[in-house]
Amino acid sequence: MKGSKKLLFKDAIQQAKIACGILDRKVYTGPWHVQIDLTNKCNNDCIACWCNSPLLGDKAMKEEIRDKYLPFDVVIKLVDDLASLGVRDLYFTGGGEPFMHPEILEIMRHIKAKGMRLDMSTNFTLVTREIAEQLVEIEVDHLNLSLWAASPEVYSDLHPNKNEETFIKMTEIIDFINEKKAEKRTIKPALGMYNVITSRSYQEVTDMLEYAHKHRMNDISYVPVDTMPGKTDSLSLNIEQRKELSGQLELLPMKKEEFQEQYNHEVVFANLAVFKQRISSSTADEANYDGELLSAMPSCYAGWSFARILATGEVNSCLKSFKIPVGNILQSGFPEIWFGEKQQEFRNHTIDFDVNDVYLKSMGNDMMTRDQGCMKCCDNLGLNMSVHEKMADLNLFKKLLIRVAKLF
């Protein structure tokens, strides 16, 4: 069994072990998806950032935390541990910009040598032509470009310490990557356009789609801004703005066909249906988007399918559990943490999801507030919905199959 067939077999085994663990409420393997914050250092001050927005004032990330990054040897050991647990997907993200880590390209090479998929979120401002060529050579699987805009004017408004020229230069590098991919006849890295939609950018959603087609992106994502109460509330959309946005969203599938024909290129919507539902939520006025969607799912599966390692070494069980870390890889190996008591406590509280559970009140981005909970904006929503659909589809025969696969 070679190449892609071998990878598909590994995928199937890992999925089966995770599903079996959820059914048995035990743990037989590592998570499917792990996010790694290589560093908290960042060269941008995105207006809606939970860490560095100039609107945050005293709630901005403290300087001593902002300087944190994971040492190279620690990251390599972590990657080896994750590979041994069957982890299939790694994602670089975090409070900082991944390309500010001094050994990022060496880390990328090690991950790909392990046969794992590598995706990342990047503000893309530090990617030069030289780095772009290496990304194509390494065959990084996907780059999620956090642009937030389709024009230099809106981009500079959302990134106060950058300017219109920054956006123009990034666009040139995007086109350069596509040229190099064409030369090498490769599809990697696939490019995604990631857009946080705020009161300052919602009018550009159609332009964002055209930009993605024109510059040969592979996919496009829209997410509603997740505000910090009392600080970035002005960025949330009011009723009239959401109504106008909803009208644009209804036309996007038709616009997609027009742009596809115009630019001879197809762009995939990564999450349009979920975004539309979040925007139309009855509590969206308070930037509480996910209550209705989460209420339809009786369980949260993050405890089996996901983990995040922060630049401080702390391990979080989901993307909003900053206040209840389950361990630290600078003190313990990841397997010890993953199979440990604190991670199991998280699983016990989330598998039978109860919005009134006091444990879950600690969820949320605001480190100073203890009563946010999961319903405001769940960043694990997409993965959770995917797992939920797969679990709901398990009949008796499929359950038997995954129990057999667990033995591999």
pLDDT at 112: 97
DSSP structure class, residue 61 = P
Instruction: Check residue 303 and give its pLDDT.
Output: 92
Residue 283: its pLDDT value, please? 55
**387 CB-contact burial (10 Å; exposed 0-12 / middle 13-18 / buried 19+):** buried
d(Cα 336, Cα 346) in Å, to the nearest integer? 15
Q: CA-to-CA distance for 194 and 219, rounded, in angstroms?
A: 9
Euclidean distance between CA atoms 166 and 174, whole angstroms = 12
Q: Walk along the chain (408 residues) and give the pLDDT tens digit of each residue.
A: 455 677 788 888 888 888 888 889 999 999 999 999 999 999 999 999 888 889 988 888 888 888 899 999 999 999 999 999 999 999 999 779 999 999 999 999 999 999 999 999 999 999 999 999 999 999 999 999 999 999 999 999 999 999 999 999 999 999 999 999 999 999 999 999 999 999 999 999 999 999 999 999 999 999 999 888 889 999 999 999 999 999 999 999 999 999 999 999 999 999 899 899 888 865 555 555 555 666 666 778 889 999 999 999 999 998 888 889 999 999 999 999 999 999 999 999 888 877 777 887 777 766 555 555 676 667 767 777 777 778 778 777 777 777 776 666
The string of DSSP codes covering 185-244 is T---SEEEEEEEE-TTTGGGHHHHHHHHHHTT-SEEEEEE----TTTSGGGS--HHHHHH
Question: Which pLDDT does position 154 carry in this prediction?
Answer: 97
Spatial contact of 15 and 123, defined as CB atoms under 8 Å apart: no
pTM to 2 decimal places: 0.89
Q: What is the pLDDT of residue 44?
A: 93
Question: Both tokens of residue 164?
Answer: 């219109």
Q: Tell me, what's the pLDDT at 405?
A: 67
How far apart, in whole angstroms, are the C-alpha atoms of residue 13 and residue 7? 10
